[in-house]
Amino acid sequence: MMKKEYVVGVTGASGACYARRLLEVLCRDANVHLIVSDIAQQIATHEGVSFEGFNATVHPIDKMGASIASGSHRIDGMVVIPCSAKTLSAIATGYADNLITRTADVCLKEGRKCILVTRETPLSKIHLKNMLAAEDAGAMIMPACPAFYHHPKTIDDLVDMVVARVLDHLEVEHTLAQRWSGYDA
Ligand SMILES: Cc1cc2nc3c(=O)[nH]c(=O)nc-3n(C[C@H](O)[C@H](O)[C@H](O)COP(=O)(O)O)c2cc1C
């Protein structure tokens, strides 16, 4: 069976740990392209997270000639995790001036999965309008917003809860989080 192929874009919002966990799972069985914005790299360093050591193809953010910048290169989906409000605005308006926003733009025009794991609070009207515009264009807005009904005990549990939902929507099998099966289960 052909390996699935995904693009992971990491932008300058807090929560580099979400990207790292997603990469840990995705890189096991899929071909993964990784793009990290300059500010995302600074924040990851500050948050003590490294994106080294994954079996992924790493693209510089300004490498607009990369294969994934073209719709003719087929991929199975893209996730921007975490997705800053700035990158959300660029994707919502088609302002494709770097490899993350260009690849997201390509996903939307080609009708491919494009999941934006936003992290900002509170949300201004501008953020909310951009979310709606991106969703209207075919993106899925999936705020980094863990649930508590499985009684998480560690930060890793909370991270897994968010990443599990992303994997569900990429249709990637995982065992990161329990599934809700009712109060009496
Ligand atoms: C320490 C730090 C934390 C930040 N956290 C967030 C955040 O959680 N959400 C957000 O939308 N922007 C956040 N920002 C602002 C973005 O990094 C900034 O808007 C940047 O231009 C985003 O660029 P990029 O989307 O190209 O990575 C943060 C910036 C810094 C320095």
The angle that helices 155-170 and 16-29 make with each other, rounded to 10 degrees, is 50
Given a cut of 50, the residues of the chain with pLDDT beneath it are: none
Strand order in the sheet with 57-59: 57-59, 31-36, 5-10, 77-83, 114-118, 140-141
At residue 1, the pLDDT reads: 75
Q: How many domains does the chain have?
A: 1
In a domain, 179, yes or no: no
In a domain, 178, yes or no: no
**What's the CA-to-centroid distance between 84 and ligand 1, angstroms?**
5
Alpha-carbon distance of 55 to 84, in angstroms, equals 25
In a domain, 185, yes or no: no
**What's the CA-to-centroid distance between 116 and ligand 1, angstroms?**
14
pLDDT (tens digit, 9 = 90+) per residue, 41-70?
999 999 999 999 999 999 999 999 999 999
In a domain, 53, yes or no: yes
At residue 185, the pLDDT reads: 55
**What's the CA-to-centroid distance between 109 and ligand 1, angstroms?**
26
Report the nearest-CA residue for atom 9 of ligand 1.
13
Task: Kindly report the CATH number assigned to the domain that includes residue 145.
Answer: 3.40.50.1950
Task: Look at the pTM and tell me if it is higher than 0.85.
Answer: yes
* Contact status, residue 8 vs residue 35, Cβ threshold 8 Å: yes
At residue 139, the pLDDT reads: 98
DSSP state of 52: T
In a domain, 180, yes or no: no
At residue 178, the pLDDT reads: 86
In a domain, 71, yes or no: yes
Q: Which domain holds residue 124?
A: 5-170
In a domain, 177, yes or no: no
